[in-house]
Amino acid sequence: MENLGLDFKLLIAQLVNFGLFYIIFKKYLAKPFLNLIKEEEVGEKKREELRVKLQKQDEDFETKRNDLNVQISRKEEQIISNAKERAKSVELKIINEAEEEAIRIRGKALNEIESERQDLYKQLKKKISDLSIILVNKTLKDVLTEDIKKKITNSIIKNLPKEKQAYEN
């Protein structure tokens, strides 16, 4: 092999150097790089799992938020409808109270009007009887006797209820 220009000692030294380089490279350089690459792959997998988990949580959160919004909308509608019902009942109550008050005031006014009419009728009856007595006394003072005057006055007073009916109509 010397003829070929190969030196066995040099070849063995080169093989020993390559073996030492391979062992050192594998043990001290390649292993940490492989561990670093594996750690990066594991970290990447964890980040991907975490991203998927966060995405799922975000979707769940969005779903829950939408459900809560729907529930809130329903409750708002229910509260509004309850408020409308209460407002209607209060309105009806106020209207009923106002109608009752109007009926009471109207009845009171009718009673007052009837009372005033009866008072006026009594006053009118008294004035008519006083007037008839004065008329009888003045006009027939000399002509009639006391008994005839009383009969005429009584007759006029008896005819007054007929006049009341005519007055009321």
Task: For 104-117, write each residue's pLDDT tens digit.
Answer: 999 999 999 999 99
- Determine what percent of the chain falls in helix, strand and coil, rounding each to the nearest 5: 90, 0, 10
How many angstroms separate the Cα of 105 from the Cα of each of 88, 114, 122? 25, 14, 25
Q: Is 8 helix (H, G, I), strand (E, B) or coil?
A: helix
Cα–Cα distance, 166 to 124 (Å, whole number): 14
Range 28-46 burial, b when 16+ CB lie within 10 A, else e = eeeeeeeeeeeeeeeeeee
**pLDDT for 132:** 78
Given a contact cutoff of 8 angstroms between Cβ atoms, the answer to whether 87 and 130 are in contact is: no
Give Cβ neighbours of residue 149 (< 8 Å, ≥ 6 apart).
136, 137, 140
Length of the chain (residues): 169
How many angstroms separate the Cα of 57 from the Cα of each of 19, 51, 71, 115? 53, 10, 20, 84
**Type of residue found at 11:** L
**pLDDT for 159:** 80
Low-confidence spans in the chain with pLDDT less than 70: 1-3, 140-142, 161-169
Rg from Cα positions in the chain: 63
**pLDDT for 2:** 60
